[in-house]
Amino acid sequence: MSPNAEDGDWYDPAQVRKGGPMNVKVPKIEDLLERDGYLKLHEREIRRRYGNFQDFLNQLQKVEGGIENFSTGFKDMGCHVEEDNTFVCRQWAPGAQDMWLFGDFNDWNKYRYEFKKLPFGKWEIKLPPVNGECAIKHLSKIKLAIKSQTGEVVDRLDPWATFVCPPPKGSGYIYNHHFWNPPKEQVYKAKNPKPKRPKSMRVYECHVGISSWEGKVNTYVDFADNVLPRIQKLGYNAIQIMAVMEHAYYASFGYQVTSFFAASSRYGTPEELKYLVDKAHGMGIFVMLDVVHSHASKNVLDGLNMFDGSDACFFHSGARGNHELWDSRLFNYTEWEVLRFLLSNLRMWVDVYGFDGFRFDGVTSMLYHSRGLGQGFSGDYNEYFGMNTDTEALVYLMLANHLLHSLSPEMITIAEDVSGMPALCRPTAEGGGGFDYRLAMAIPDLLIKMMKEQKDEDWNMGTLIHTLTNRRWKEDCIAYAESHDQALVGDKTIAFWLMDKEMYTGMSSMWPANDIVDRGIALHKMIRLLVHGCGGEGYLNFIGNEFGHPEWLDFPRSGNNDSYHYARRQFNLVDDEELRYKYLAAFDAAMNKTEDKFGWLSSDPAYVSWKHEEDKVIVFERAGLIFVFNFHPNKSFTDYKVGAWEGGTYRIVLDTDASEFGGHNRLDHSKENATFPEGYAGRQNHMCVYSPCRTAQVYARK
């Protein structure tokens, strides 16, 4: 940023480059301190962190021509083909004594092609064309041989590899780098413009491999052709794709990354992933990648670990470079070439594949030297601004967010942070972390605890509302009732907590539902609407949970005899007109489409006017709508008095009890509810409504 000489304010040159006005004022640290006076006690630390961030930006400008130029390292490092078909490979391996390139192109002769050593721990090799063609053909297997400081020669994969495949069955477990250089006519070209950033984020968290009802690993193409239309029909405007960055162990759910630049070959080719992203864009769906920069797999032969033969290289050496609980390696975010690697990784997924945003995994682990283990995070600001905070990791996140938002004003980043660090979701110019949203992780934890330990008649309305509304002002949250964490084996989805084994025998719509199923379906809809309406500025659902997927998620592994039975999403159940799953899916779609019409997620937080423990009733207003929830198991209320800020006539626009959602149709939707001018529950007006037990309604003013 540069100072405006006329008035001393700051403007953003990125806005100017994009054709924006010169006098766009950007936030300042003073804005952050004014918004939250408690942060003034920590102003010195906030300014120190911001100073470190600015120092990196200034150094990048001086040495590399700026962070945007620095982040194009993926175009220079790794394996490439120049215009004249010369093959070139560049690597960073500061601990190496020597390096060679070998593979099927030279009959696996390990020592024939030697790299040239360059300054700053870099290495380069160039192979001239053979008969005008690249010396290494498309899909050839290649490896690096590295002589470590001890003199040992070890085999490694290119850290910048873009296509890495498992070996044929029965021939081992180590992944192979297949050089990806298809003929130009086979390179996928996007056909659709990128969508605008959604005002209201309705996110469908998904995993390509499990997206078929069959017991198999599904493909990018099948997902694009058969699952994306389902997502569009449900009213979600964004997808968050998990487990795309290549991981040798499928059961790690993609969180033990071995090849950061490779789109997982389990699901298809890089060009097929481009097709998926482009097809989503054609449907107006914003596409986000679940990115893992918090740690890396410990795999040596097909991962980053000990790449140059040393314990360090990409990671901290010793204890600081190891995550004990995750059994993985931790990046050294102060190392220049590590920053190039990680920032270029983000840039590559944007430039090459067209991703629109990122959900950063494991942010809490990054932010603290304790990795967040054994900490309750009470909200005491000293927990966030003391010696436990890993400033190096925080500054990396600031750099990453600064880069991504400078690449596109439409970019969205989401932090998986349970700690609630203040300003994490404020612009870097304010001294914040730069994220657009954080995940509201306390909500599903509370919901599961309530369902696990209490009957619904004992649920505390005050505790529920406190958790839903307890978030920092002007730091947006993505709320969710359950994500992939709650779907994994060892836990249960909300539907399973509510109905359990009854889901195997009691979901037929050909006869009346039994009491357990009736209760489960009713509460499933209410819980999701409550979280959607009150929990945040965005909403997230995990694939299949919208229709109450009946079973947990468990990937094939030795512990289950490599079974795919639970590594799938049974869309065949929701397609069956004789089963009740269709009701939950229909409600989910109606909920999203009602939000799309009224925009409560992009409105100010809900004003909760009523939470009554004995009645089990919650009432709140948002975006001009009135939400009424009756969680009581058997008490229905006639002429129940609810507050309304705006006077007028209200009608029902969404009802969990409607017959098309598997309800009992106890309300007359043609009836209009007029308000009375007498104030009630802190509102200017009130109206009287019929509120059946275990139902929720949304009222809109005519």
Q: Supply the angle between the helices 515-534 and 581-598 in degrees, to the nearest 10.
A: 20
Contact between 278 and 354 (Cβ < 8 Å) = yes
Contact between 114 and 123 (Cβ < 8 Å) = no
Q: How far is CA 497 from the centre of its chain?
A: 25
Name the active-site residue from 222, 361, 475, 621. Answer: 361
Beta-bridge partner residues of 415: 360, 438
3-class SS of residue 45: helix
CA distance 113 to 640: 82
Q: What is the CA angle 24-29-32, rounded to 5?
A: 100
User: CA-CA distances (angstroms) from residue 567 to 487, 544, 582?
Assistant: 11, 12, 21
CA distance 64 to 58: 10
Burial annotation 86-101 (CB, 10 A radius, 16+ → b, else e): ebebbbbbbbbbbbbb
CA distance 189 to 208: 21
Structure tokens at 489: 């084996």
Q: Supply the angle between the helices 336-351 and 391-407 in degrees, to the nearest 10.
A: 30
Contact between 611 and 462 (Cβ < 8 Å) = yes
Task: Find the helix or strand (DSSP H, E) in which 102 lies.
Answer: strand 98-103
Name the active-site residue from 12, 222, 416, 546. Answer: 416
Contact between 413 and 357 (Cβ < 8 Å) = yes
Beta-bridge partner residues of 98: 147
DSSP string, 279-308: HHHHTT-EEEEEE--S-B---STTSSTTTT
Contact between 397 and 360 (Cβ < 8 Å) = yes
| Side chain identity at residue 459, one-letter code | W
* Known catalytic membership, residue 361: yes
Active-site amino acid positions = 361, 416
